[in-house]
């Protein structure tokens, strides 16, 4: 299934977890729990040692995963070992993509990712200006390249990004780094408004942590929601308390279902969109 | 010199999307104010450098070093800039630029604390609120500078993630910038980061080589045969080299921190040095493509140097490029030799150098000292060493490190009650 297809039957719920957090085996269970909870696409983080776009929650997840021995090679094994059927997106920083394999440049990484069944990439430190080599490799192997649009992205920059994006566009709900918030940003409506004219699914992320947030975001026009830190918090708490991985997986599944249900509820309350009717 | 942010394969802008509009705004401001002197920006910068910063700094003949090394050794005295290091040139330039841009908050990262101090001073001078991110480990190593920052009214935010050094402080400052990008300017402390920082910081620092070039003609009646500067991120290096790059006859030597050894343990993710030009490879870190210390997967390695100011896993993209094309020679000096040079310069010339700077003198000793093997022929007759900063900030760690080693020229403090 392609990334865009995942949006066909209503709002897509896109959870994120760092692969290998806190260890390989538990992490496999956690990611699979997300699918049981209703995930339509899963963003899998391949940890990089300098995650400059992430807040403390995901930063700590990255540290745990790296300490657990996660590497790009292990990451691809992880994807192969996963028992999920929804599309997977690899979220990582450009240096890991650039350095992989015997030749410099992104091609070997993309080729390997395609061979294990990855459907696309999100690369937070790769703006559209620098993304041609990765875009070309993605085109060659039939993968999508998801770009992030920030509240500060306007005008020509927005157009440049929207020309390059495929799969879905990741709409950053507020400025700053990743991290769960108790209040979800009110900037979402205006961010989505700027993207109205573009024919690609819009998934909103940054700060969503509850079913109520999900409902509100989808009601304001999002085609999908992306949730990372709120889920990673569950993994972190389980790790700190030494909880049984099964219990942690159940908690993840429960929150995932709440988020998915919230998104679905939001869609049913949405006023008919002039361009979609 | 590049104005588009690319130095061969290096440079570029690899940052989160939220920062891109700020980077574009900065690019525009850099071109207008710095390159085209709009609204007399560069005139004001030069005036403030002179009156607040104490420029020009002397190019001083070092009599006893000249004698020891059998050639004419001149010192470019950046340690005499206000605050005690070249760092003020850049900090003053960027804080002033932020004012011209209408920003109302300054953030910066610091390793040894010298850039943080310079930024805090520039902010106090220009009446701008200032927050500095500094690794916890560096805070412990550089307490006097932490105190100086706070004296100047800056807030100092400790960074506890990772090993708590410069690399983590830069990442943390980028996160703050991504959150507060609309009213905040990030004063990057070296010729690193996304374009336009490497070019802009070089331009602010190039006053060093601009002065040195003129002073060399006055004092030596010619250009020097070689210029030596220590290299961490590379800001004093690029400052000391910039105006000499086109003078092909002038040899340029970037002296990196060789740390405890040049051997790199990839499996442990540790480089016991900060010699990215010597032991690193091409990659993308903190917004630029450059030479970095990384393992075979592309994870950034922990670096090490006796000097916090050189303890960084990357280097400026322009410097990496100049080394690649053979215009700059990258060499390195380890912790022990740097510390010995720290003592030697203090004793022979009455100048206590920063531990960063001591690396450049360590190289001079190795190739031209009494035990050298004759490599110094390449340095030529007239040598300029950039004294990037003074060593007051390093005294605490110098005392500690000295007593861990057997340095025969170190002062004997045992005669005083309790030692040190």
The top-level CATH class assigned to B59-83+205-404 is alpha beta
Return the sign of the alpha-carbon dihedral for residues B190, B284, B32, A176: negative
Q: In chain B, which residues touch A (CB < 8 A)? A: 12-18, 20-22, 24, 161-162, 167, 171, 174-175, 178-182, 269, 282-287, 294, 296-300
The pLDDT tens digits of the residues spanning A48-93 come to 999 988 888 999 999 999 999 999 999 999 999 999 999 999 999 9
> Mind telling me how many Å the CA of B373 is from chain A's nearest CA?
38
Structure tokens at B264: 């790199």
Mutate to test the interface with A, among B16, B105, B109 (most CBs of A within 10 A): B16
CB spacing of B18 vs A129 below 8 angstroms: no
Mean pLDDT, range B286-290, rounded to an integer: 96
For chains A and B, count residue pairs whose Cβ atoms are closer than 8 Å. Answer: 117
Query: How far apart (Å, rounded) are the C-alpha atoms in residues A5 and A12?
Result: 10
Distances from the Cα of A224 to the Cα of A172, A221, A227, B419, angstroms: 12, 9, 10, 68
Q: Which of B17, B171, B178 sits opposite A50 (nearest CB)?
A: B171
Range with lowest mean pLDDT among B90-99, B113-122, B411-420: B411-420
Task: Return the DSSP state at A223.
Answer: S
Q: CA nearest B218: which of B107, B59, B109?
A: B59
What would the CATH number be for the domain defined by B13-52+87-197? 3.40.50.1100
Band the pLDDT of B267: cuts 50, 70, 90: confident
Helix (H) or strand (E) holding B73: strand B72-77
CATH architecture for segment(s) A3-266: Alpha-Beta Barrel (3.20)
pLDDT at position B270: 78
CB spacing of B171 vs A96 below 8 angstroms: no
| B315 contacts B324 by C-beta, under 8 angstroms | no
Band the pLDDT of A208: cuts 50, 70, 90: very high
pLDDT at position A275: 54
Structure tokens at B312: 């960084």
Strand partners, B290: B283
DSSP string over B87-121: HHHHHHHHHHHHHHTT--EEEEEESSSHHHHHHHH
pLDDT at position A111: 98
pLDDT mean across residues, chain B:
93
Band the pLDDT of B138: cuts 50, 70, 90: confident
Residue A37 pLDDT greater than 70, yes or no: yes
Query: How far apart (Å, rounded) are the C-alpha atoms in residues B199 and B221?
Result: 30
pLDDT at position B78: 98
Residue A182 pLDDT greater than 90, yes or no: no
Q: Which of B18, B24, B180 sits opposite A150 (nearest CB)?
A: B18
Q: Which of B22, B287, B299 sits opposite A48 (nearest CB)?
A: B299
Q: CA nearest B320: which of B290, B351, B296?
A: B290
Chain B hits for A50, Cβ within 8 Å: 167, 171, 285-286, 300
pLDDT at position B137: 85
Structure tokens at A230: 């709120």
> Mind telling me how many Å the CA of B92 is from chain A's nearest CA?
26
Band the pLDDT of B356: cuts 50, 70, 90: very high
Query: How far apart (Å, rounded) are the C-alpha atoms in residues A221 and A33?
Result: 27
Return the sign of the alpha-carbon dihedral for residues A214, A220, A224, A225: negative
Catalytic residues of B: 87, 109, 388
Residue B1 pLDDT greater than 70, yes or no: no
Q: Which of B21, B22, B179 sits opposite A177 (nearest CB)?
A: B179
pLDDT at position A215: 96
Q: CA nearest B191: which of B56, B76, B320?
A: B320
Band the pLDDT of A274: cuts 50, 70, 90: low
Residue B311 pLDDT greater than 80, yes or no: yes
Show me where the domains of chain A are located. 3-266
pLDDT mean across residues, chain A:
93
Q: CA nearest A191: which of A227, A158, A146, A156?
A: A158
Residue A116 pLDDT greater than 60, yes or no: yes
Query: How far apart (Å, rounded) are the C-alpha atoms in residues B319 and B327?
Result: 9
The pLDDT tens digits of the residues spanning A165-179 come to 999 999 998 888 777
The answer to whether the peptide bond before residue A45 is cis (omega within 30 degrees of 0) is no
Higher-pLDDT residue of A157, A270: A157
Residue B368 pLDDT greater than 50, yes or no: yes
Query: How far apart (Å, rounded) are the C-alpha atoms in residues A95 and B58?
Result: 42
CB spacing of A100 vs B181 below 8 angstroms: no
Band the pLDDT of A99: cuts 50, 70, 90: very high
Phi, psi at A246, each rounded to 5°: -60, -40
> Which residues are CB-contacts of A232 (< 8 A; sequence separation ≥ 6)?
A16, A17, A18, A21, A57, A58, A61
CB spacing of A153 vs B21 below 8 angstroms: yes
The pLDDT tens digits of the residues spanning B176-212 come to 998 898 899 999 999 999 999 999 999 999 999 999 9
> Mind telling me how many Å the CA of B179 is from chain A's nearest CA?
3
Band the pLDDT of A273: cuts 50, 70, 90: low
Query: How far apart (Å, rounded) are the C-alpha atoms in residues B371 and A52?
Result: 46
List the single residue in A with minimal CA-CA distance to B285: A95
Mutate to test the interface with B, among A19, A20, A52 (most CBs of B within 10 A): A52
β-sheet with B155-159: strand ranges across? B155-159, B130-135, B105-110, B184-187
Chain A hits for B299, Cβ within 8 Å: 48-49, 66, 71, 96
Return the sign of the alpha-carbon dihedral for residues A19, A2, A209, A157: positive
Chain A hits for B14, Cβ within 8 Å: 94, 125-127, 130
CB atoms within 10 A of CB B84: 21
Q: Which of B16, B162, B167 sits opposite A125 (nearest CB)?
A: B16
| B240 contacts B202 by C-beta, under 8 angstroms | no
Q: Indicate left, alpha or beta for B127 from its phi (over 0: left) and psi (-120 to 50: alpha).
A: left
CA angle at B399 for the pair B394 and B405, rounded to the nearest 5° = 120
Return the sign of the alpha-carbon dihedral for residues B401, B404, B409, B411: positive
The pLDDT tens digits of the residues spanning B51-93 come to 999 999 999 999 999 999 999 999 999 999 999 999 999 999 9
Residue B344 pLDDT greater than 70, yes or no: yes
Q: CA nearest A33: which of A92, A86, A91, A90?
A: A86
pLDDT at position A232: 98
Residue A277 pLDDT greater than 50, yes or no: no
Chain A hits for B107, Cβ within 8 Å: none
pLDDT at position B414: 73
pLDDT at position B168: 83
Query: How far apart (Å, rounded) are the C-alpha atoms in residues A220 and B213?
Result: 62
Residue B372 pLDDT greater than 70, yes or no: yes
Percent of chain B exceeding pLDDT 90 equals 75
Distances from the Cα of A137 to the Cα of A95, A185, B142, B227, angstroms: 15, 35, 46, 44
Mean pLDDT, range A136-151, rounded to an integer: 96
Catalytic residues of A: 43, 54
Q: CA nearest B361: which of B380, B327, B333?
A: B333
Task: Return the DSSP state at B244.
Answer: G
Helix (H) or strand (E) holding B291: strand B288-292
Query: How far apart (Å, rounded) are the C-alpha atoms in residues A205 and A217?
Result: 9
| A113 contacts A90 by C-beta, under 8 angstroms | yes
pLDDT at position B419: 53
Strand partners, A204: A171, A225
Mutate to test the interface with A, among B299, B302, B303 (most CBs of A within 10 A): B299
Q: Which of B12, B22, B175 sits opposite A130 (nearest CB)?
A: B12
Q: CA nearest B299: which of B274, B266, B263, B264?
A: B266
Task: Return the DSSP state at A54.
Answer: -
> Mind telling me how many Å the CA of B356 is from chain A's nearest CA?
25
Residue B238 pLDDT greater than 70, yes or no: yes
> Which residues are CB-contacts of B314 (< 8 A; sequence separation ≥ 6)?
B192, B233, B276, B280, B285, B286, B288, B290, B291, B292, B293
Q: In chain A, which residues touch B (CB < 8 A)? A: 48-55, 59, 63, 66, 71-73, 93-96, 98-100, 104, 124-127, 129-130, 147-154, 157, 161, 172, 175-177
């Amino acid at each position: 299934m392609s990334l865009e297809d995942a949006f066909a039957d209503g709002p897509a719920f896109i959870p994120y977890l760092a692969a290998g957090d806190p260890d390989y085996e538990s992490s496999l269970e956690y990611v699979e729990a997300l699918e049981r909870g209703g995930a339509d696409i899963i963003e899998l983080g391949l940890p990089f040692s300098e995650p400059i776009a992430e807040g403390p929650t995901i930063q700590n997840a990255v540290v745990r995963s790296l300490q657990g021995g996660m590497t790009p090679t292990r990451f691809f094994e992880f994807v192969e070992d996963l028992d999920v059927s929804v599309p997977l997106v690899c979220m990582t920083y450009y240096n890991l993509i650039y350095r992989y394999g015997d030749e410099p440049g992104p091609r070997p990484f993309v080729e390997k990712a395609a061979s294990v069944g990855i459907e696309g990439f999100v690369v937070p430190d790769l703006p559209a200006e620098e993304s041609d080599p990765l875009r070309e490799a993605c085109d060659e192997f039939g993968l999508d390249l998801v770009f992030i649009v920030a509240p500060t992205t306007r005008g020509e920059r927005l157009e440049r990004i929207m020309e390059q994006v495929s799969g879905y566009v990741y709409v950053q709900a507020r400025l700053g780094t990743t991290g769960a918030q108790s209040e979800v940003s009110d900037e979402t409506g205006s961010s989505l408004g700027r993207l109205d004219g573009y024919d690609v699914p819009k998934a909103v992320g940054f700060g969503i942590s509850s079913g109520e947030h999900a409902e509100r975001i989808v009601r304001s026009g999002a085609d999908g929601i992306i949730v990372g830190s709120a889920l990673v918090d569950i993994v972190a708490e389980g790790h700190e308390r030494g909880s049984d991985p099964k219990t942690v997986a159940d908690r993840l599944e429960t929150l995932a279902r709440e988020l998915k249900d919230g998104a679905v509820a939001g869609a049913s309350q949405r006023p008919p969109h002039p361009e979609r009717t | 010199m590049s104005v588009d942010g690319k130095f061969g394969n290096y440079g570029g802008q690899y940052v989160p999307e939220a920062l891109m509009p700020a980077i574009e705004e900065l690019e525009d401001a850099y071109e207008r104010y710095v390159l085209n002197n709009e609204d007399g920006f560069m005139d004001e910068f030069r005036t403030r450098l002179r009156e607040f910063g104490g420029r020009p700094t002397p190019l001083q003949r070092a009599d006893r070093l000249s004698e020891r090394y059998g050639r004419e050794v001149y010192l470019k005295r950046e340690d005499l800039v206000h605050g005690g290091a070249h760092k003020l040139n850049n900090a003053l330039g960027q804080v002033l630029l932020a004012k011209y841009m209408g920003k109302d908050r300054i953030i910066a990262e610091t390793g040894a604390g010298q850039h943080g101090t310079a930024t805090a001073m520039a902010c106090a001078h220009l009446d701008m609120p200032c927050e500095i991110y500094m690794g916890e480990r560096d805070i412990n190593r550089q307490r006097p500078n932490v105190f100086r920052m706070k004296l100047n009214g800056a807030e100092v935010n400790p960074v506890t993630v990772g090993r708590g050094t410069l690399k983590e402080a830069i990442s943390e400052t980028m996160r703050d910038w991504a959150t507060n990008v609309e009213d905040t300017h990030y004063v990057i402390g070296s010729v690193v980061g996304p374009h336009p920082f490497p070019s802009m910081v070089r331009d602010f620092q190039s006053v060093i080589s601009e002065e040195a070039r003129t002073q060399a003609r006055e004092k030596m009646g010619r250009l020097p045969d070689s210029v030596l500067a220590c290299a961490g991120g590379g800001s004093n290096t690029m400052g000391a080299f910039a105006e000499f790059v086109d003078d092909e006859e002038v040899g340029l030597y970037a002296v990196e921190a060789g740390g405890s050894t040049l051997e790199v343990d990839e499996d442990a993710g540790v480089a016991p040095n900060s010699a990215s030009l010597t032991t690193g490879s091409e990659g993308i870190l903190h917004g630029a493509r450059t030479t970095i210390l990384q393992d075979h997967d592309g994870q950034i390695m922990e670096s090490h140097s006796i000097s916090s100011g050189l303890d960084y896993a990357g280097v400026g993209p322009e410097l990496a490029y100049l080394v690649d094309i053979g215009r700059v020679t990258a060499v390195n000096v380890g912790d022990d030799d740097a510390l010995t040079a720290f003592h030697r310069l203090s004793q022979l010339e009455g100048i206590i150098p920063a531990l960063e700077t001591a690396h450049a003198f360590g190289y001079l000793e190795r190739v031209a000292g009494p035990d050298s093997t004759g490599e110094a022929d390449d340095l030529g007759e007239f040598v300029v060493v950039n004294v990037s900063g003074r060593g007051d900030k390093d005294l605490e760690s110098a005392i500690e490190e000295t007593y861990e080693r057997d340095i025969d020229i170190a002062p004997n403090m045992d005669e005083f009650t309790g030692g040190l």
